[in-house]
Chain A
C-alpha cells in the first residue's frame, strides 16, 4: 500500500521559515496527487496544499503566498516550504496520498511545527 514519513518539523519564531519533507515508499509521488493536511492541538483537520501529477499546485487561502508545495521525483519526496510563519500555523502537519484528487488514502505519522517567540 505504501508508506509516508514526514520530517523537518520543529520550532520557529514568527516570520521564520521551515521546510517539511515527506519521503514515500512503495509508490511514486510523481503519479499520485499529493497533499499536506494540518491539525492544531485539539482542533480539526485543515487541508493545506495539493500538487497534481502534472505539477499544478493549489493552496488553502490561509497559506496562499506563504507556503509552497513541491516534489522531487528522483528522491520520491514531497516538500512543503513554509515562509512568513505565524503563531496560527502551529500544528501537526501530515502528508497524504490522494486516491483521485479529492480524497486521501495513505497518511504519514505527522510532524509537529511550533511557531512561537
Chain B
C-alpha cells in the first residue's frame, strides 16, 4: 500500500481548472517539500511537471502549478485541454532514503 494517497479520478471540462491531491502519512513527507508530479499518457514514459512541490521545469506549461501544505500536496491545471487527459502521479521522499509514488489519478477531460 502506497504511503501517498491520490484520488482515483478527477474530471473537468475544457477551459476549466482542476486540482488533484496527494496526501502523505510520514513526518518526512510533511516536513520537506520534496514532492514531484508526473503526467503519463497511455503507452508513454512519464513526464515531469513539478518538482520540489512547486517548481516547474523549463518547457512545462504555466497551466500546471503545484503547492503543498502540511501532509497534502496539490497539482492544479488551469485552462484544461483535451491533451491533458492522462494519468498523474505524485512522488516524494518519505524517509529512510525511500521514494514512493502515489497510486495515480486519472484525469478525464469531458
| A and B interact physically | yes
Interface of A with B (CB < 8 Å)? 35, 37, 44-47, 50, 58, 60-61, 94, 99-105, 107-110
- Complex CA–CA separation, A20 to B47 (angstroms): 21
State the main secondary structure of chain B at its contact with A: strand
Supplied contacts A44-B89, A45-B40, 18 more A-B pairs, CB within 8 Å: A37-B46, A44-B103, A45-B101, A45-B104, A47-B98, A47-B100, A61-B98, A99-B51, A99-B57, A100-B51, A102-B51, A102-B52, A102-B91, A102-B92, A102-B93, A103-B52, A103-B91, A105-B48
Q: Measured between C-beta atoms, what is the minimum distance from B59 to chain A in Å?
A: 8
* Interchain nearest-CB distance for A7 vs B (Å): 15
Contact yes or no, A103 B89, CB < 8 A: no
Q: Is the CB of A45 within 8 A of B38?
A: yes
Q: Would A47 and B89 count as touching, CB distance under 8 A?
A: no
Contact check, A50 vs B103: say whether CB atoms are below 8 A apart: no
CB–CB B48/A44 < 8 A: no
The reply to whether B97 and A58 contact each other, CB–CB distance below 8 Å, is yes
Interface size range of chain B in the complex:
20 to 34
Q: Provide a sorted-by-A list of 24 A–B residue pairs whose CB atoms are within 8 angstroms.
A: A37-B101, A44-B87, A44-B101, A44-B103, A45-B46, A45-B89, A47-B91, A47-B99, A100-B51, A101-B93, A102-B34, A102-B51, A102-B99, A103-B51, A103-B91, A104-B36, A104-B38, A104-B48, A104-B91, A105-B48, A105-B51, A107-B47, A108-B45, A110-B45
Task: Please name the 3 residue pairs, one residue from A and one from B, whose CB atoms are nearest each other, closest first.
Answer: A103-B51, A103-B36, A58-B97
| Interface residue B102 (Cβ < 8 Å from any Cβ of A) | yes
- CB-CB under 8 A from B45, the residues of chain A are 94, 107-110
A contact residues around B47 at 8 Å (CB): 107
| Closest beta carbon of chain A to B106's beta carbon, Å | 11
Complex Cα–Cα for A35 and B97 (A): 13
Contact of B102 among A44, A94, A102, A107 (CB under 8 A): A44
A47-B2 Cα distance, complex, nearest whole Å: 11
